[in-house]
């Protein structure tokens, strides 16, 4: 979102062992550890100084073809590199995620996919055979089956239990290079035409919401400038919130809070998909 944040200490572990060591040490009494992957689904309070943040960019870089359409993918890989690797081996299935500025660990955590809650086209959970993770509570590396990952719309067991995702084994269907390229190019074209590139955003803000209510709050925002005019609703999609430059945490938060309040007033279900570091 191009907002925030300050960390007293930023750790960039270079191996899985370093990652496990540092996450164990920074895991606090509230059962929380701040892990940053692509940062594409995070809203970070820019008025708070976070003590320790761990960046996932280097610790888990492995990508291994296991045969028969199965791959082990480390959490630190960018999703574009994962798609290319799987395609180069003659397989595919989640090329539609090519536009996400995200890492594989964040993709698993959020169960990223295309389509809404009612009509999902696919989610990464459809491809997962098992996830390797470090269990901070039990202090041990575990392997979770797809069922144990409890994948649902933009959510997973990783939201509810302190795991550090190290990587996952995925199984993919065969795909010709032509088919994969066609999907990637179509998706890139769609992103170019519909997304406001270069501006801060986190994709869809609410995993459950009424589009009508979001539209009404967006009109309210045009008049009252809830986001100070720096953060507004997206031009083409009212479920997107965009930072036009200089936006602050409180600007984005006011818009999100207004949407939640409006849903509650109308007794409609709402769930913010964005992870907020208060
Ligand atoms: C332009 C744009 C388009 C988008 N389009 C889509 C879309 O089409 N579909 C979709 O589903 N999403 C979309 N998103 C949202 C976002 O890309 C996804 O939610 C993505 O999965 C987040 O991955 P990340 O690496 O950026 O994770 P981050 O934002 O860095 O982290 C998200 C959460 O995961 C946790 N986490 C990350 N890595 C680990 C790990 N290894 N172990 C434990 N916890 C971890 C973080 O602590 C945080 O709580 C879009 C975002 C943008 C900016």
Using one digit for the tens of pLDDT, what is the confidence trace for 82-98?
999 999 999 999 999 99
Task: Count CB-CB contacts under 10 A for residue 184.
Answer: 20
State mean pLDDT over 52-69: 97
Q: Ligand 1, residues 4, 10, 41: which to mutate, most atoms within 8 A of Cβ?
A: 41
Between CA 19 and CA 25 the distance in angstroms is 10
Secondary structure of residue 58 in the 3-state scheme:
coil
State mean pLDDT over 98-102: 95
Structural domain tally of the chain?
Answer: 3
Select from 191, 214, 238 the last residue of a domain. Answer: 191
pLDDT of residue 192: 86
Q: What is the pLDDT of residues 202-255, one digit of tens each?
A: 999 999 999 999 999 999 999 999 999 999 999 989 999 999 999 999 999 999
Domain that holds residue 48: 6-55
Q: Ligand 1, residues 100, 103, 276: which to mutate, most atoms within 8 A of Cβ?
A: 100
Q: Tell me how far apart the terminal alpha carbons of the chain are, to the nearest angstrom.
A: 15
pLDDT of residue 60: 98
What is the torsional sign of CA 221, 227, 228, 234? negative
Select from 191, 217, 232 the last residue of a domain. Answer: 191
pLDDT confidence tier of residue 163, bands split at 50, 70 and 90: very high
State mean pLDDT over 4-13: 94
Query: Is position 180 within any domain?
Result: yes
pLDDT of residue 28: 76
pTM: 0.97
């Amino acid at each position: 979102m191009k907002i925030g944040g300050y960390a007293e200490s930023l750790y960039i572990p270079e191996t899985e062992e370093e990652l496990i060591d540092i996450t164990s040490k920074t895991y606090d009494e509230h059962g929380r550890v701040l892990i940053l992957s692509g940062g594409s689904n995070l809203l970070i309070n820019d008025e708070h100084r976070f003590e320790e943040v761990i960046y996932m960019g280097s610790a888990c870089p492995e990508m291994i073809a296991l045969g028969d359409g199965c791959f082990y993918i480390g959490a630190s890989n960018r999703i574009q590199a994962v798609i290319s690797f799987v395609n180069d081996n003659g397989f595919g299935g989640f090329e539609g995620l090519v536009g996400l500025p995200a890492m594989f660990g964040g993709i698993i955590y959020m169960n990223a996919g295309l389509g809404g809650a009612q009509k999902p086209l696919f989610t990464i959970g459809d491809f997962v055979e098992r996830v390797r993770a470090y269990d901070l509570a039990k202090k041990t590396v575990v392997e979770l089956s797809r069922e144990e990952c409890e994948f649902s719309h933009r959510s997973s067991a990783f939201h509810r239990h302190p795991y550090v995702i190290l990587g996952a084994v995925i199984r993919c269907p065969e795909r010709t290079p032509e088919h994969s390229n066609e999907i990637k190019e179509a998706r890139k074209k769609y992103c170019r035409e519909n997304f406001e590139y270069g501006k801060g955003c986190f994709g869809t803000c609410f995993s459950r919401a009424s589009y009508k209510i979001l539209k009404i709050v967006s009109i309210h925002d045009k008049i009252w400038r809830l986001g100070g005019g720096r953060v507004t609703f997206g031009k083409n999609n009212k479920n997107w919130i965009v930072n036009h430059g200089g936006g602050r945490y409180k600007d984005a938060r006011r818009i999100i809070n207004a949407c939640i309040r409006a849903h509650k007033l109308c007794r409609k279900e709402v769930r913010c998909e964005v992870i907020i570091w208060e």
